[in-house]
């Protein structure tokens, strides 16, 4: 699986779920058959420019910056 494919998967996952941590993201990707470590997700998130938006209750979630 290529990095570009993984990036696409990540975008799909954060659109469909409230992802509160990179560890959660890792689990969701695993369910879709993609195994990566947190270090890689940290890099992917930077490359995709994803931001973690703080929620009222403290539980932030990853999101695309609406530009």
Question: Please, are residues 45 and 26 in contact by the beta-carbon 8 Å criterion?
Answer: no
Among the listed ranges 1-9, 10-18, 21-29, 58-66, the one in contact with its own copies (CB under 8 A) is 58-66
Site string for its own copies, 8-47 (x = CB under 8 A): -------------------------------------xx-
Does 35 sit near DNA (CB under 7 A)? Answer: yes
Q: How many residues belong to the site for DNA (CB under 7 A)?
A: 22
Query: Which run of H or of E encompasses 53?
Result: strand 51-53
CA 12 to chain centre: 9
């Amino acid at each position: 699986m290529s990095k570009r494919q993984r990036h696409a998967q990540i975008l799909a996952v954060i659109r469909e779920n409230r992802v509160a941590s990179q560890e959660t993201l890792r689990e969701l990707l695993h369910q879709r058959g993609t195994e990566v470590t947190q270090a890689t997700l940290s890099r992917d998130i930077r490359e995709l420019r994803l931001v973690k938006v703080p929620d009222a209750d403290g539980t932030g979630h990853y999101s695309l910056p609406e530009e």
